[in-house]
A = this chain, B = another copy of it.
Amino acid sequence: MRVRAITNRLGNAMILEIADILIAPGRQAEFDVAIERGLREVISQAKGFKGYKVNRGVENPQRYILQIFWDTLEDHTVGFRESPLFPQWRAIVGPFFAQPPTVEHFSLVTRSDNVSE
């Protein structure tokens, strides 16, 4: 397997946002619909948005890991968070949160060739 960095159209490596989310118990089915709607209808409009993935916990089904790919760190931390899209997104997903999500950013170190992002 060969190492290859994911790059955006400027030739720079993309930034991965990982949000660690804990929702209120018993609301998984509603939240699954809400988070997908928020991603498709709101976040996908943001400049520098490149893609997303949502996973739900096996050991803890109230835990979700949201991964969003951005062209640059600032596309998320400034462009998105200071835009009117941010309150629209939080209005859709915020009511399900059991506590404020933990959000950090990451760069790619290595991956197997069959994993695209």
Contacts and interface: CB of A to CB of B under 8 A. Distances in A.
B117 A63 contact: no
Chain copies in complex: 2
A35 interface: yes
A116 B18 CA distance: 17
A55 B16 contact: yes
Contacts of A44: 1, 112
A60 interface: yes
A93 interface: no
Contacts of A58: 15, 73, 104-107
A55 B106 contact: yes
Interface string A56-70: 111110011101010
